[in-house]
């Protein structure tokens, strides 16, 4: 079972929901949710049914087999982390938060030009891709290309 499937299963175990409400609850698009629910339904872990008041509405609920799977599934990592974090002394929590805030501040890339990282080929001094200089990989024998390298252009 994938992580997203487990998250969806946990949400529908809490309460039967419409597809759109479930998509919002797990922060995925409706088409993505539809694929996840289809796979869960195929395994007999959830069931879909039409709403009683609005027949256009599709409600998703957990099945008995789905509840059995959840009983055997490990607790979500974020829950375990939160539980352990809350048991720390207040000064330890403050110190961890302070360090994490510092790391976040150090990693902000608002001023960085990521284009040299996102392109292939040699990068000239201005940060632009140079088409004249071939990229060499010291791990490959001379003349060999990596699978990700574009094919050589005819001369």
Confirm if 15 and 4 have CB atoms less than 8 A apart. Answer: no
Q: Is the pLDDT of residue 48 over 80?
A: yes
Return the half-sphere exposure (C-beta side, CA atoms, 13 A cut-off) of residue 77. 1
Give me the chain's average pLDDT, please.
77
**Are 42 and 85 part of one and the same domain?**
no
Angstrom distance (rounded) from CA 47 to CA 55: 16
Helices and strands, counts by H and E, the chain: 7, 5
Angstrom distance (rounded) from CA 103 to CA 99: 6
- The domain in which residue 87 lies consists of 77-107
**Are 81 and 31 part of one and the same domain?**
no
Average pLDDT over residues 59-66: 94
What pLDDT, in 10s, does the model give residues 113-136?
Answer: 555 444 445 555 555 555 544 444
What pLDDT, in 10s, does the model give residues 66-98?
Answer: 999 988 887 776 777 888 889 999 999 999 999
**Are 55 and 84 part of one and the same domain?**
no
Q: Which segment of 17-26, 35-44, 45-54, 142-151 scores lowest on mean pLDDT?
A: 142-151
**Are 56 and 87 part of one and the same domain?**
no
Strands 58-62 and 17-18: antiparallel
pLDDT band for position 101 (cuts 50, 70, 90): confident
pLDDT at 16: 92
Domain count, the chain: 2
pLDDT at 138: 47
pTM for the structure as a whole: 0.51
**Are 8 and 62 part of one and the same domain?**
yes
Cβ–Cβ contacts within 10 Å for residue 93, how many? 13
Q: What is the CATH number of the domain that holds 14?
A: 1.10.10.10
Name residues whose C-beta falls within 8 Å of residue 11's C-beta, 6 or more positions apart in sequence.
Answer: 17, 22, 25, 26
Cβ–Cβ contacts within 10 Å for residue 113, how many? 9
Q: Is the pLDDT of residue 9 over 60?
A: yes
Average pLDDT over residues 53-76: 87
Give bridge partners of residue 49 from the DSSP assignment.
59
**Highest-confidence segment of 24-33, 109-118, 133-142:** 24-33
């Amino acid at each position: 079972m994938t992580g997203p499937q487990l998250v969806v299963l946990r949400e529908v175990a809490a309460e039967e929901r419409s597809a759109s409400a479930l998509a919002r609850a797990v922060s995925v698009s409706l088409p993505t949710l539809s694929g996840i629910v289809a796979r869960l339904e195929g395994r007999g872990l959830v069931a879909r049914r039409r709403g009683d008041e609005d027949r256009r509405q599709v409600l998703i609920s957990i099945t008995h087999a789905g509840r059995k799977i959840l009983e055997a599934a490990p607790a979500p990592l974020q829950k375990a982390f939160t539980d352990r974090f809350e048991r720390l002394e207040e000064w330890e929590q403050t110190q961890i938060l302070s360090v994490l805030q510092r790391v976040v501040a150090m990693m902000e890339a608002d001023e960085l030009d990521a284009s040299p990282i996102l392109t292939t080929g040699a990068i000239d001094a201005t940060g632009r891709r140079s088409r004249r200089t071939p990229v060499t990989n010291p791990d490959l024998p001379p003349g060999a290309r990596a699978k990700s390298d574009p094919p050589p252009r005819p001369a």
